Amino acid sequence: MRLGITANSEVPEAIRASRKVLSNLKGHDIVMERGIAHLFGKEGLPVEEMDIDILITVGGDGTILRSLQRTDAPIFGVNAGVLGFLAEVNENEISTGIRRLLDGDYFIEERIKLRTEVGGKRLFDATNEAVVHTAHIAKIRHFHVYVDDQLAMDVRADGIITATPTGSTCYAMAVGSSIIDPRVDAFIIAPMAPFKFAARPLVVPASSRIRVELAKPKPCMCVVDGQQETFMDGNEKACFRLADSKARFIRFERDFYKKTREKLVCAP
Protein backbone atom coordinates (compact mmCIF):
# COMPACT_ATOMS: atom_id res chain seq x y z
CA MET A 1 0.00 0.00 0.00
CA ARG A 2 1.38 3.38 -1.03
CA LEU A 3 0.41 6.34 1.12
CA GLY A 4 0.46 10.04 0.32
CA ILE A 5 0.80 12.76 2.95
CA THR A 6 -0.28 16.38 2.67
CA ALA A 7 -0.55 18.98 5.41
CA ASN A 8 -1.20 22.63 6.06
CA SER A 9 2.44 23.69 6.33
CA GLU A 10 1.45 27.12 7.68
CA VAL A 11 -0.01 25.71 10.89
CA PRO A 12 2.47 24.67 13.62
CA GLU A 13 0.05 22.05 14.97
CA ALA A 14 -0.16 20.43 11.53
CA ILE A 15 3.63 20.29 11.23
CA ARG A 16 3.87 18.69 14.67
CA ALA A 17 1.16 16.16 13.82
CA SER A 18 2.84 15.41 10.48
CA ARG A 19 6.02 14.52 12.35
CA LYS A 20 4.02 12.01 14.41
CA VAL A 21 2.47 10.55 11.26
CA LEU A 22 5.89 10.09 9.68
CA SER A 23 7.32 8.44 12.80
CA ASN A 24 4.49 5.89 12.65
CA LEU A 25 5.14 5.16 8.99
CA LYS A 26 8.86 4.40 9.09
CA GLY A 27 9.70 1.67 6.59
CA HIS A 28 6.48 2.11 4.62
CA ASP A 29 6.02 3.35 1.06
CA ILE A 30 5.07 7.03 1.31
CA VAL A 31 5.16 10.13 -0.87
CA MET A 32 4.83 13.65 0.52
CA GLU A 33 3.28 16.76 -0.94
CA ARG A 34 5.87 19.41 -1.76
CA GLY A 35 4.62 22.01 0.69
CA ILE A 36 5.29 19.79 3.71
CA ALA A 37 8.11 17.65 2.28
CA HIS A 38 10.68 20.45 2.21
CA LEU A 39 10.17 21.06 5.94
CA PHE A 40 11.45 17.54 6.55
CA GLY A 41 14.26 17.72 4.00
CA LYS A 42 12.51 15.43 1.53
CA GLU A 43 11.46 15.56 -2.11
CA GLY A 44 7.77 15.92 -2.77
CA LEU A 45 5.09 15.90 -5.45
CA PRO A 46 1.88 17.84 -6.02
CA VAL A 47 -1.11 15.87 -4.73
CA GLU A 48 -2.54 15.58 -8.25
CA GLU A 49 0.61 13.77 -9.42
CA MET A 50 0.69 11.19 -6.63
CA ASP A 51 0.10 7.53 -7.55
CA ILE A 52 -1.23 6.42 -4.17
CA ASP A 53 -3.79 4.16 -2.53
CA ILE A 54 -4.69 6.49 0.35
CA LEU A 55 -3.99 10.17 1.06
CA ILE A 56 -3.33 11.19 4.66
CA THR A 57 -4.29 14.82 5.24
CA VAL A 58 -3.03 16.69 8.30
CA GLY A 59 -4.80 19.94 9.11
CA GLY A 60 -8.39 21.10 9.21
CA ASP A 61 -11.39 20.48 6.99
CA GLY A 62 -10.01 22.98 4.47
CA THR A 63 -6.99 20.74 3.91
CA ILE A 64 -9.32 17.81 3.23
CA LEU A 65 -11.53 19.79 0.85
CA ARG A 66 -8.54 21.13 -1.05
CA SER A 67 -7.13 17.62 -1.38
CA LEU A 68 -10.42 16.21 -2.65
CA GLN A 69 -10.24 18.65 -5.56
CA ARG A 70 -6.91 17.11 -6.57
CA THR A 71 -7.18 13.37 -5.97
CA ASP A 72 -9.67 10.51 -6.17
CA ALA A 73 -7.78 8.53 -3.50
CA PRO A 74 -9.59 7.84 -0.21
CA ILE A 75 -8.83 10.44 2.46
CA PHE A 76 -7.59 9.60 5.95
CA GLY A 77 -8.00 12.86 7.82
CA VAL A 78 -5.87 13.77 10.83
CA ASN A 79 -7.31 16.81 12.57
CA ALA A 80 -4.83 19.52 13.46
CA GLY A 81 -7.34 22.34 13.06
CA VAL A 82 -10.19 23.68 15.15
CA LEU A 83 -13.27 21.62 14.26
CA GLY A 84 -12.09 18.79 12.04
CA PHE A 85 -15.58 17.53 11.28
CA LEU A 86 -14.44 15.55 8.23
CA ALA A 87 -11.29 14.13 9.84
CA GLU A 88 -11.21 10.65 11.36
CA VAL A 89 -8.63 11.03 14.14
CA ASN A 90 -7.21 13.77 16.33
CA GLU A 91 -3.51 14.25 17.04
CA ASN A 92 -3.58 12.07 20.17
CA GLU A 93 -5.08 9.20 18.15
CA ILE A 94 -2.47 9.15 15.36
CA SER A 95 -0.60 6.02 16.48
CA THR A 96 -3.76 3.96 16.92
CA GLY A 97 -5.24 5.30 13.68
CA ILE A 98 -2.13 4.55 11.61
CA ARG A 99 -1.96 1.03 13.06
CA ARG A 100 -5.58 0.33 12.11
CA LEU A 101 -4.97 1.83 8.68
CA LEU A 102 -1.96 -0.42 8.03
CA ASP A 103 -3.84 -3.46 9.37
CA GLY A 104 -6.75 -2.80 6.99
CA ASP A 105 -9.10 -2.34 9.94
CA TYR A 106 -11.30 0.29 8.31
CA PHE A 107 -14.03 0.83 5.74
CA ILE A 108 -14.40 3.42 2.99
CA GLU A 109 -17.32 5.83 3.21
CA GLU A 110 -18.44 7.36 -0.08
CA ARG A 111 -20.22 10.70 -0.32
CA ILE A 112 -21.74 12.43 -3.31
CA LYS A 113 -20.17 15.52 -4.85
CA LEU A 114 -21.58 18.45 -6.80
CA ARG A 115 -20.53 19.03 -10.39
CA THR A 116 -20.15 22.79 -10.95
CA GLU A 117 -20.07 24.84 -14.16
CA VAL A 118 -20.08 28.61 -14.63
CA GLY A 119 -20.70 30.02 -18.09
CA GLY A 120 -20.05 26.57 -19.54
CA LYS A 121 -16.65 26.32 -17.81
CA ARG A 122 -16.13 23.27 -15.63
CA LEU A 123 -14.92 24.03 -12.11
CA PHE A 124 -13.82 21.60 -9.42
CA ASP A 125 -16.48 19.25 -8.09
CA ALA A 126 -17.69 20.36 -4.66
CA THR A 127 -17.62 18.06 -1.65
CA ASN A 128 -19.36 20.62 0.59
CA GLU A 129 -20.96 23.35 -1.50
CA ALA A 130 -20.78 25.82 -4.33
CA VAL A 131 -21.81 29.38 -3.48
CA VAL A 132 -22.86 32.12 -5.88
CA HIS A 133 -22.74 35.39 -3.99
CA THR A 134 -22.47 39.10 -4.58
CA ALA A 135 -19.01 40.34 -5.51
CA HIS A 136 -19.53 43.44 -3.38
CA ILE A 137 -20.13 43.46 0.37
CA ALA A 138 -23.67 44.37 1.44
CA LYS A 139 -24.94 44.51 -2.15
CA ILE A 140 -28.02 42.36 -2.62
CA ARG A 141 -28.63 40.43 -5.84
CA HIS A 142 -31.81 39.20 -7.52
CA PHE A 143 -31.53 35.47 -8.26
CA HIS A 144 -33.62 33.04 -10.28
CA VAL A 145 -33.02 29.42 -9.30
CA TYR A 146 -34.27 26.63 -11.54
CA VAL A 147 -34.60 22.96 -10.66
CA ASP A 148 -35.00 20.74 -13.72
CA ASP A 149 -35.92 23.86 -15.72
CA GLN A 150 -38.70 24.82 -13.30
CA LEU A 151 -38.43 28.13 -11.46
CA ALA A 152 -37.92 27.11 -7.82
CA MET A 153 -36.76 30.43 -6.31
CA ASP A 154 -37.21 34.05 -7.28
CA VAL A 155 -35.34 35.74 -4.47
CA ARG A 156 -33.30 38.79 -3.56
CA ALA A 157 -30.44 37.70 -1.35
CA ASP A 158 -26.71 37.98 -0.73
CA GLY A 159 -26.20 34.69 -2.50
CA ILE A 160 -27.31 31.13 -3.17
CA ILE A 161 -25.70 28.07 -1.57
CA THR A 162 -26.01 24.71 -3.31
CA ALA A 163 -24.80 22.05 -0.90
CA THR A 164 -24.34 18.31 -0.65
CA PRO A 165 -25.33 16.34 2.47
CA THR A 166 -21.68 16.70 3.55
CA GLY A 167 -22.01 20.47 3.14
CA SER A 168 -25.27 20.51 5.09
CA THR A 169 -23.18 20.67 8.27
CA CYS A 170 -21.17 23.61 7.00
CA TYR A 171 -22.16 26.89 5.30
CA ALA A 172 -25.73 25.76 4.60
CA MET A 173 -26.27 24.96 8.27
CA ALA A 174 -25.03 28.45 9.17
CA VAL A 175 -27.85 30.02 7.14
CA GLY A 176 -30.53 27.85 8.73
CA SER A 177 -30.68 24.73 6.57
CA SER A 178 -31.35 21.27 7.93
CA ILE A 179 -28.62 18.70 8.46
CA ILE A 180 -28.91 15.87 5.94
CA ASP A 181 -27.68 12.37 6.72
CA PRO A 182 -24.84 11.69 4.24
CA ARG A 183 -26.57 8.45 3.20
CA VAL A 184 -29.34 10.54 1.61
CA ASP A 185 -28.79 11.44 -2.04
CA ALA A 186 -30.03 15.02 -2.10
CA PHE A 187 -28.89 18.61 -2.46
CA ILE A 188 -29.83 21.71 -0.47
CA ILE A 189 -30.45 25.06 -2.14
CA ALA A 190 -30.27 27.81 0.47
CA PRO A 191 -30.56 31.59 0.02
CA MET A 192 -28.12 33.71 2.02
CA ALA A 193 -29.76 36.54 3.98
CA PRO A 194 -32.88 36.60 1.77
CA PHE A 195 -34.91 39.80 1.64
CA LYS A 196 -38.13 37.80 2.10
CA PHE A 197 -38.49 35.88 5.36
CA ALA A 198 -40.57 33.27 3.53
CA ALA A 199 -37.64 32.34 1.28
CA ARG A 200 -36.57 29.03 2.82
CA PRO A 201 -33.96 26.41 1.87
CA LEU A 202 -35.05 23.66 -0.50
CA VAL A 203 -34.05 20.00 -0.44
CA VAL A 204 -34.06 18.46 -3.92
CA PRO A 205 -33.16 15.01 -5.28
CA ALA A 206 -29.53 14.50 -6.23
CA SER A 207 -30.73 13.66 -9.74
CA SER A 208 -31.84 17.30 -10.16
CA ARG A 209 -30.20 19.78 -12.50
CA ILE A 210 -29.91 23.12 -10.75
CA ARG A 211 -29.34 26.45 -12.48
CA VAL A 212 -28.70 29.83 -10.85
CA GLU A 213 -29.16 33.00 -12.91
CA LEU A 214 -29.19 36.70 -12.12
CA ALA A 215 -32.29 38.68 -13.01
CA LYS A 216 -29.98 41.57 -13.95
CA PRO A 217 -26.29 41.19 -14.85
CA LYS A 218 -24.36 42.33 -11.78
CA PRO A 219 -20.95 41.11 -10.54
CA CYS A 220 -20.90 37.93 -8.48
CA MET A 221 -18.47 35.23 -7.39
CA CYS A 222 -18.80 31.47 -7.48
CA VAL A 223 -16.82 29.80 -4.70
CA VAL A 224 -16.35 26.02 -4.58
CA ASP A 225 -15.68 24.52 -1.14
CA GLY A 226 -14.11 27.79 -0.02
CA GLN A 227 -11.10 26.95 -2.21
CA GLN A 228 -11.76 27.95 -5.83
CA GLU A 229 -13.12 31.40 -6.68
CA THR A 230 -14.50 32.35 -10.11
CA PHE A 231 -15.63 35.87 -11.00
CA MET A 232 -19.00 36.25 -12.73
CA ASP A 233 -20.00 39.40 -14.57
CA GLY A 234 -23.65 38.44 -14.11
CA ASN A 235 -24.47 37.15 -17.58
CA GLU A 236 -23.29 33.60 -16.90
CA LYS A 237 -25.39 30.73 -15.66
CA ALA A 238 -24.11 28.63 -12.77
CA CYS A 239 -25.16 25.01 -13.27
CA PHE A 240 -25.00 22.19 -10.75
CA ARG A 241 -25.70 18.48 -10.86
CA LEU A 242 -24.53 15.19 -9.40
CA ALA A 243 -20.83 14.61 -10.09
CA ASP A 244 -19.60 11.32 -11.50
CA SER A 245 -16.90 11.01 -8.83
CA LYS A 246 -17.44 10.66 -5.10
CA ALA A 247 -15.53 11.81 -2.06
CA ARG A 248 -14.11 8.80 -0.24
CA PHE A 249 -13.09 8.73 3.41
CA ILE A 250 -11.29 6.18 5.56
CA ARG A 251 -13.56 5.43 8.53
CA PHE A 252 -13.26 3.30 11.64
CA GLU A 253 -16.76 3.84 13.00
CA ARG A 254 -20.19 4.67 11.58
CA ASP A 255 -20.64 7.61 13.91
CA PHE A 256 -22.20 10.47 11.94
CA TYR A 257 -24.76 11.35 14.62
CA LYS A 258 -22.24 11.02 17.44
CA LYS A 259 -19.86 13.32 15.59
CA THR A 260 -22.67 15.77 14.80
CA ARG A 261 -23.77 15.82 18.42
CA GLU A 262 -20.26 16.26 19.84
CA LYS A 263 -18.81 18.71 17.33
CA LEU A 264 -21.82 20.75 16.25
CA VAL A 265 -24.80 20.42 18.56
CA CYS A 266 -23.01 20.28 21.92
CA ALA A 267 -19.73 21.95 20.95
CA PRO A 268 -18.66 24.83 23.22
Active site residues: 61
Q: What is the DSSP string of 134-197?
A: ESSTT--EEEEEEETTEEEEEEEESEEEEE-TGGGGTHHHHTTPPP--TTS-EEEEEEES-SST
For residue 100, count other CB atoms closer than 10 A to its CB. Answer: 17
Residue 44's closest CA among 26, 61, 30? 30
Contact 50, 71 (CB under 8 A): yes
Q: For residues 176 and 190, is the Cβ–Cβ distance under 8 A? A: yes
Return d(Cα 175, Cα 170) in angstroms, integer: 9
